[in-house]
């Protein structure tokens, strides 16, 4: 195969791989900027960057490479458009699961727990929220997270531990308030 044909085949393969991670890219962007419309714009920008600079892809984990681009695009967006804040209103309906087969009580408990978890995650500092989302929701390994975020694996591990501790404290605190209010 000629070098040109091989490059075209590789480019097509990379595009296919990157498109298979569209949901993960959107999920990360949405959690970082907390606005579905902004997240869509960020993902679009990130994919344009990825396709434009695919020659810079050195091989390896394409998902981690793409999520690093999404991460950088998200932070660039926040710096340009909302320098004084990192968050805006979060759409709670995005993660709600269908409770068709659940009882009313089970559905209510799941809804309360889901809202409690989302609110607790939203309270985390951006660096903890980002690492926790990459690990728990996207299933990235410590090594992949280190590659995406650009920090040593030890920093990823300690950040995840701190994020989980802080998340637990937020949830326990919010549950305590809910019990006092009769929720």
Domain co-membership, 113 together with 72 = no
Final residue belonging to a domain, choices 94, 113, 140 = 94
Same domain, 23 and 68: yes
The answer to whether the beta carbons of residues 82 and 38 sit under 8 Å apart is no
- Find the domain containing 175 and state its range: 105-183
Confidence of residue 92 (pLDDT cuts 50, 70, 90): very low
Give pLDDT, residue 10: 53
Q: Please check the confidence at residue 37 and state whether its pLDDT lies above 90.
A: yes
Q: How confident is the model at residue 178 (pLDDT cuts 50, 70, 90)?
A: low
Instruction: Over range 47-73, report the average pLDDT.
Output: 87
Q: Are residues 111 and 88 in the same domain?
A: no
**CATH code, domain with 60:** 1.10.1740.10
Name the band, by pLDDT with cuts 50, 70 and 90, for residue 107: low
**pLDDT exceeds 70 at position 99:** no
Q: How many CB atoms lie within 10 A of CB 6?
A: 10
Q: Could you tell me the CA-to-CA distances from 172 to 61, 93, 175 in Å, in that order? A: 37, 23, 5
124-138 average pLDDT score: 89
């Amino acid at each position: 195969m000629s070098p040109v044909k091989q490059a075209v085949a590789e480019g097509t393969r990379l595009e296919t791989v990157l498109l298979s991670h569209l949901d993960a890219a959107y999920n990360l962007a949405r959690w970082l900027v907390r606005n579905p419309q902004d997240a869509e714009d960020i993902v679009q920008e990130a994919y344009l960057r990825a396709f434009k600079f695919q020659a810079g892809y050195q091989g390896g984990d394409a998902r981690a490479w793409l999520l690093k681009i999404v991460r950088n695009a998200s932070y660039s967006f926040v710096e340009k458009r909302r320098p004084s804040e990192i968050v805006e209103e979060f759409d709670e309906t995005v993660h709600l699961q269908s409770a068709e087969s659940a009882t009313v009580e089970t559905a209510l408990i799941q809804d309360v727990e889901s809202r409690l978890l989302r609110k607790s995650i939203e309270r985390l500092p951006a660096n903890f929220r980002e690492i926790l989302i990459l690990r728990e929701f996207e299933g990235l390994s410590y090594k992949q997270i280190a590659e995406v975020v650009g920090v040593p694996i030890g920093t990823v591990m300690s950040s995840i531990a701190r994020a989980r501790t802080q998340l637990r404290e937020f949830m326990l605190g919010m549950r305590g308030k809910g019990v006092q209010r009769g929720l």
